[in-house]
């Protein structure tokens, strides 16, 4: 048992060793920040590789602001940053540090990997790429959309498109109201905004809060239909997280055909839906989305949908 005695004799050394290790680790950690030149090199590579339909994403999540700053809004676009999910992208260029990955790319096929100092750019292929036909969020303008609001008695009023200045607030204010929006008489707006979902992810979506009894009706003009209407809907995090609000229902029609409806309950978060449109696939028709809730209290509702 001599080794045990020896170990006991020198066990005290563990404490100064911890102190020195901590000091060394501190020195390493504070000197291992990814330099701006690595970001610039990674950006040049991504710009040379990425096609408009590709996803460019940063990992870990906390480094996203740095990615947006140094890659710029032309690469870190709103469509990429505030994406509804990853399924619409055929390919992703993941820009990561510290060995992190974008969780949504799990299951994708790695096709290449490039290192730029502390940054790794991994190209991933979508194992189930989809053909996106039309994206309803990009149709929020007077050329492609009409909005009306019907009150509880069924009286319908046109919501006019306005070019105003955006309206935004601080914590708790809800999604910003975009400058370009449909404004309904008596209140209520519809416009493309970015909402924080229940997990605080950004979601580019059509902000269309129901204002109480009645129906908010969005008519998307001449939509090219696919086999499914794929989308998500959610409520701004601070309006949803207490789980005390009314459910919000959205119903879709394509031309004269009812496509289906989905209900969002508080706690559902950024909830996906997919409605079958195979019977009208290949046609072009108006798609009408009707949004309603028993109460409009803090129903800061947002949805996105595409045809595929």
Instruction: Answer positive or negative: Cα dihedral of 175, 177, 179, 184.
Output: positive
Rule CB under 8 A: say whether 178 interacts with another protein.
Answer: yes
Site mask for another protein (CB under 8 A), range 85-104, x = bound? ------------xx-x----
The residue behind tokens 């066990």 is 11
| Residue 145, number of CB atoms within 10 A of its CB | 22
* Cβ contact 219:286 at 8 Å: yes
Among 37, 78, 103, 162, binds another protein (CB under 8 A): 78
| Residue 243, number of CB atoms within 10 A of its CB | 9
Choose one: 50-58, 165-173, 271-279, 283-291; the region binding another protein (CB under 8 A): 165-173
Rule CB under 8 A: say whether 3 interacts with another protein.
Answer: no
- 183 bridge partner residues: 160, 189
∠ Cα 196 202 208 (to 5°): 60
Choose one: 190-198, 210-218, 246-254, 273-281; the region binding another protein (CB under 8 A): 190-198
Q: How far is the CB of 204 from another protein (least distance, A)?
A: 9
Radius of gyration of the chain measured on its C-alpha atoms: 25
Q: How far is the CB of 249 from another protein (least distance, A)?
A: 24
* Cβ contact 193:291 at 8 Å: no
Rule CB under 8 A: say whether 55 interacts with another protein.
Answer: no
Question: Which of 89, 236 has the CB closer to another protein?
Answer: 236
# residues contacting another protein (CB under 8 A): 60
Rule CB under 8 A: say whether 162 interacts with another protein.
Answer: no
Q: Give, as ranges, the residues between 233 and 252 that touch another protein (CB under 8 A).
A: 236-238, 241
Site mask for another protein (CB under 8 A), range 14-53, x = bound? xxx-xxx-xx-xxx-xx--xx-------------------
**Residue 158 to residues 61, 167, 258, Cα–Cα distance (Å):** 41, 22, 22
Q: How far is the CB of 255 from another protein (least distance, A)?
A: 32
* Secondary structure element (H or E) that encloses residue 7, with its range: helix 2-10
Gap between the Cα atoms of 277 and 9, Å rounded: 77
Gap between the Cα atoms of 89 and 54, Å rounded: 6
The residue behind tokens 């809907």 is 233
Rule CB under 8 A: say whether 173 interacts with another protein.
Answer: yes
Interface residue list for another protein (CB under 8 A):
9-16, 18-20, 22-23, 25-27, 29-30, 33-34, 60, 62-63, 65-66, 68-69, 71-73, 76-78, 81-82, 97-98, 100, 165-171, 173, 175-178, 193-196, 200, 202, 236-238, 241
């Amino acid at each position: 048992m001599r080794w045990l005695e020896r170990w006991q004799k020198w066990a005290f050394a563990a404490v100064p060793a911890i102190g020195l290790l901590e000091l060394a680790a501190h020195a390493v950690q504070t000197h291992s920040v990814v330099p701006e030149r690595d970001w610039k090199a990674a950006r040049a590579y991504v710009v040379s590789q990425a096609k408009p339909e590709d996803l460019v994403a940063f990992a870990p999540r906390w480094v996203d602001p740095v990615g947006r700053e140094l890659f710029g809004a032309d690469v870190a676009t709103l469509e990429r940053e505030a994406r509804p999910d990853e399924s619409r992208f055929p390919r992703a260029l993941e820009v990561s540090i510290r060995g992190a990955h974008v969780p949504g790319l799990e299951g994708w096929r790695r096709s290449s990997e490039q290192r730029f100092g502390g940054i790794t750019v991994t190209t991933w292929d979508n194992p189930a790429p989809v053909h996106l036909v039309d994206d309803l969020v990009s149709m929020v303008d007077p050329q492609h959309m009409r909005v009306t609001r019907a009150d509880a008695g069924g009286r319908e009023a046109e919501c006019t498109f306005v070019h105003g200045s955006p309206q935004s607030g601080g914590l708790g204010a809800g999604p910003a109201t975009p400058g370009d929006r449909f404004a309904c008489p008596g209140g209520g707006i519809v416009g493309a905004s970015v909402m924080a979902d229940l997990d605080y992810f950004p979601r580019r979506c059509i902000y269309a809060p129901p204002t109480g009894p009645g129906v908010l009706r969005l008519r998307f003009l001449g939509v090219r239909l696919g086999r499914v209407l794929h989308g998500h809907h959610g409520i701004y995090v601070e309006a949803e997280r207490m789980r005390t609000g009314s459910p919000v229902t959205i119903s879709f029609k394509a031309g004269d055909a009812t496509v289906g409806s989905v209900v969002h309950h508080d706690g559902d978060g950024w909830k996906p839906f997919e409605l079958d449109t195979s019977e009208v696939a290949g046609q072009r028709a108006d798609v009408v989305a009707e949004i309603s809730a028993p109460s409009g209290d803090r129903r800061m509702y947002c949805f996105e949908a595409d045809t595929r």
